[in-house]
Amino acid sequence: MTPEDERFLRRAIELAAGAGASGGAPFGSLLVGPDGEVLAEEHNTVTIDRDITAHPELKLARWAARELDPETAAATTMYTSCQPCSMCYGAIQRSGLGRVVFALSTEQLVGLNPGAGWPEVRQEGPALYDEARVPIEARNP
Ligand SMILES: [Zn+2]
């Protein structure tokens, strides 16, 4: 972690504080390109948008996938006030971003906010392999 990383992390924390002060959930993130320029900033808008996916990390990952070429995305760092949740981490992986730097870990967040987090959801499967593989194999002969 460099002094520059800490500077961008402080900006993410500032975005989180701003979101919290305006009645939203206090989470913020930004993307910093290969030359150290801020490409985009976001904060949590789950409440105002009535959208459970409106986490700043997910919004930035979608922006990066849409707006950046793969080489630039790979050289871009996401700075975020808290460690990305599993939903956001999946989007970050798919976006091609090269690096994530976070302030609070998920464990630290839960420690500060007991009861935070999401319940486990039972998943069942695999099933119907011979039927389910058909559309996959049709796409990848
Ligand atoms: Zn998230």
pLDDT over 80 at 33, yes or no: yes
Does residue 116 have a pLDDT over 80?
no
pLDDT digits (tens, 9 = 90+) for 53-82: 999 999 999 999 999 999 999 999 999 999
- Domain ranges in the chain are 3-119
Cα(141) to centroid of ligand 1, in Å? Answer: 35
CATH class of the domain defined by 3-119: alpha beta
pLDDT in tens, 11-30: 999 999 999 998 899 999 99
Query: Would you state the structure tokens that stand for residue 68, as one six-digit string?
Result: 């950046």
Mark whether 42 is an active-site residue.
no
Catalytic residue among 4, 6, 57, 120, which? Answer: 57
**Ligand 1 mean position, distance from CA 108 (Å):** 15
Count Cβ atoms below 10 Å from residue 34 Cβ, excluding itself: 14
pTM of the full structure: 0.92
pLDDT band at 44 (very low <50, low <70, confident <90, very high): very high
What is the 35 CA–ligand 1 centroid distance (Å)? Answer: 26
Cα 27 to middle of ligand 1, angstroms = 9
Per-residue b or e along 75-94, where b marks 16 or more CB atoms closer than 10 Å to that residue's CB: ebbbbbbbbbbeebeebbee
Question: Which residue reads 């990305």 in tokens?
Answer: 84
